[in-house]
């Protein structure tokens, strides 16, 4: 499984627009093959920071997601609204057995 974490810090003036775009992106992405989880959250210590959590079945599914034109447009739009460059981290994870 591939886990993606990310965040974008907005200003109070751009937060609602960034959240609107983020929710559209999350809802669209959940329909893509291999998407196991795609969500956006507020940082409880800084409500102007949006936090993203994604889980993908494999690297191919994530690569396909990144190639969707709407994904690139979303990243550009949120980057334009952010007060500093957004952060994106990708992890290759294996579940622990109990």
DSSP 96: P
Q: Assess whether pLDDT exceeds 90 at residue 95.
A: no
What does the alpha-carbon distance between residue 62 and residue 43 come to, in Å, rounded to a whole number?
Answer: 24
Average predicted confidence (pLDDT) for the chain:
96
- Asked whether residue 97 is assigned to any structural domain, the reply reads no
- Asked whether residue 98 is assigned to any structural domain, the reply reads no
CATH number at 53 reads 3.30.70.100
What does the alpha-carbon distance between residue 34 and residue 19 come to, in Å, rounded to a whole number?
Answer: 24
- Asked whether residue 85 is assigned to any structural domain, the reply reads yes
Domain range spanning residue 84?
Answer: 2-91
pTM of the model: 0.91
Closest CA to 14 of 93, 94, 77: 77
- Asked whether residue 96 is assigned to any structural domain, the reply reads no
> Mind listing the pLDDT tens digit for each residue in 38-48?
999 999 999 99
What does the alpha-carbon distance between residue 48 and residue 56 come to, in Å, rounded to a whole number?
Answer: 26
Residue 59 contacts residue 2 (beta carbons within 8 Å): yes
């Amino acid at each position: 499984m591939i886990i993606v974490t990310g965040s974008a810090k907005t200003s109070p003036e751009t937060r609602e627009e960034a959240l609107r775009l983020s929710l559209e992106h999350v809802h669209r992405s959940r329909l893509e093959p291999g998407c196991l989880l795609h969500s956006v959250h507020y940082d409880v210590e800084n409500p102007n920071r949006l936090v993203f959590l994604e889980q993908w079945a494999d690297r191919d599914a994530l690569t396909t997601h990144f190639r969707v034109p709407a994904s690139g447009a979303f990243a550009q739009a949120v980057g334009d609204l952010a007060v500093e460059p957004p952060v994106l981290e990708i992890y290759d994870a294996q579940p622990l057995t109990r």
